[in-house]
Amino acid sequence: MTEVYYFSAAGHCKALAELLGEMLRAPVRELPCNPSADTAVVVFPVYCQNIPSPVRQFLKNLKAPQVALAAAYGQMGRGNVLWEGAKLVSGTVVAGAYVPTGHAYLGDSVEPDLEKLRQFTDRIADPTPAKIGRSAKVWYADLTPALRSRLGVSLMKTDRCTECGLCSRRCPMGTMNNGIPGNRCIRCLRCVTECPAGALTAKLSPIMKRYLRKKRSTDFILFL
């Protein structure tokens, strides 16, 4: 049995996972969850050229015999997350893909390359071991990525907050307290995206704004 698992904050990975689920005719489940598939397709975003910590823990615990990894990146730095993710899982990696999407901090979107996604799903349906190549990664990528995210993005709560507690319950790091982020916040913006009152906003620092003005990449890279 094949299942698609995803971690998503701004919605890009959720949309990609649901599309892959349709193409594979497989159930789609959000992290955290207890995986039960023989073939696990894991869809996750690239944060600061790294694997988000909830996804990293999921991959370490994943016992599926076969795994396919889809790393969605906001057309900025991809890092080396597929190679690193392949090293975390115990099963055989049968496919990997760097998929360009919109960026969580820009609020844009990108139509997926259906031809390349079909190549990805075809390999999952007829699996053979894939060789995941290493990619370039900036030297400072592993230096406190969560701290760099917090310095680049500020979260602000407005008086529209009703203290419903949804942001606290949905925070993947368990660090949000009624609109007030704790020290483990990775600035994934799930709280901003899902707040029913629109009470949370994100403010980008000048350094982050300058970074996001860099030339963006639309490379869809497959490892089969």
pLDDT of residue 146: 80
Exposed/middle/buried for residue 210 (C-beta within 10 Å: 0-12, 13-18, 19+): exposed
pLDDT of residue 143: 83
pLDDT of residue 140: 86
Q: Report residue 23's pLDDT band, with 50, 70 and 90 as the boundaries.
A: very high
**CATH H superfamily, domain 2-137+215-223:** Flavodoxin domain (3.40.50.360)
Please say if the pLDDT value at position 29 is more than 90. yes
pLDDT of residue 172: 92
2-137+215-223 and 145-211, same CATH topology:
no
**C-alpha 81: how far from chain center:** 10
In degrees rounded to 5, what are phi and psi of residue 43? Answer: -110, 125
* Distance from C-alpha of 71 to C-alpha of 79, rounded to nearest angstrom: 10
pLDDT of residue 119: 98
Among residues 86, 81, 45, which one has the least CA distance to residue 66?
Answer: 86
pTM to 2 decimals? 0.94
Mean predicted confidence (pLDDT) in 1-25: 97
- Average pLDDT over the chain reads 94
Using the 8-state DSSP alphabet, how is residue 133 labeled? P
DSSP alpha helix (H) spans, 126-171: 145-152, 166-170
- Before 45, cis peptide (omega within 30)? no
Domain spanning 145-211 has what CATH number?
3.30.70.20
pLDDT of residue 142: 84
Among residues 178, 217, 213, which one has the least CA distance to residue 105?
Answer: 213
* Distance from C-alpha of 113 to C-alpha of 199, rounded to nearest angstrom: 35
Q: pLDDT digits over 213-223, tens only?
A: 988 889 999 99
Name the residue ranges covered by the structural domains of the chain: 2-137+215-223, 145-211
Question: Is residue 86 a contact partner of residue 70, using CB atoms and an 8 Å limit?
Answer: no
Q: pLDDT digits over 123-162, tens only?
A: 999 999 999 999 988 888 888 888 888 889 999 999 999 9
Q: Report residue 66's pLDDT band, with 50, 70 and 90 as the boundaries.
A: very high
Share of the chain above pLDDT 70, in %: 100
Residue pointed to by tokens 């907050």: 161
Mean predicted confidence (pLDDT) in 18-42: 96
pLDDT of residue 150: 84
pLDDT of residue 151: 86
Q: pLDDT digits over 159-215, tens only?
A: 999 999 999 999 999 999 988 999 889 999 999 999 999 999 999 999 999 989 988
